[in-house]
């Protein structure tokens, strides 16, 4: 089983739609979780951390289910500018040096 798995997509959605991305991770000792956004040919940028209780940042909501080792990202009212690849990222252990990246899910928001 791969360490961090995501549906590669692409997800093609109309403007205004709600879209959800899912991610599973294999290391039950993982302690920190993130969603990164990567535009084409650009560097990944931190979108939001994911907390156990779930957290929201504007139109974006992240959820974590430790029992199922599952992370999700919900985008409401999609904008054209949301078109990008979304990377699920996991860090194992408080002192861990390394982030493990999923391969990403590509989102295209269509006018």
Partner 1 sequence: DADVTQTPRNRITKTGKRIMLECSQTKGHDRMYWYRQDPGLGLRLIYYSFDVKDINKGEISDGYSVSRQAQAKFSLSLESAIPNQTALYFCATSDLTRNYGYTFGSGTRLTVV
Q: Which of the stretches 9-17, 52-60, 68-76, 100-108 binds partner 1 when contact is defined by CB under 8 A?
A: 100-108
Distance CA 50, CA 56 (A): 9
Give whole-number Cα distances, 74 to 1, 22, 36, 92, 103, in Å.
25, 9, 13, 23, 18
Query: Contact region for partner 1 (CB under 8 A) — 15-23, 52-60, 62-70, 90-98?
Result: 90-98
Residue from 43, 53, 58, 81 in contact with partner 1 (CB under 8 A) = 43
Q: Does 99 bind partner 1 (CB under 8 A)?
A: yes
Identify the residue among 29, 41, 58, 111 touching partner 1 (CB under 8 A): 41
**Pick 76 or 103: Cβ nearer partner 1:** 103
């Amino acid at each position: 089983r791969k360490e961090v798995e995501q549906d590669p997509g692409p997800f093609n959605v109309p403007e205004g739609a709600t879209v959800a991305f899912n991610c599973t991770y294999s290391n039950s000792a993982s302690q920190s979780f993130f969603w990164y956004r990567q535009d084409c040919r650009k560097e990944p940028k931190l979108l939001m951390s994911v907390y156990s209780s779930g957290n929201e940042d504007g139109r974006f909501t992240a959820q974590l289910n430790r029992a199922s080792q599952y992370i999700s990202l919900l985008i409401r009212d999609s904008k054209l500018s949301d078109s990008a690849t979304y990377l699920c990222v996991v860090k194992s252990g408080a002192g861990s040096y390394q982030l493990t990246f999923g391969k990403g899910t590509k989102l295209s928001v269509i006018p």
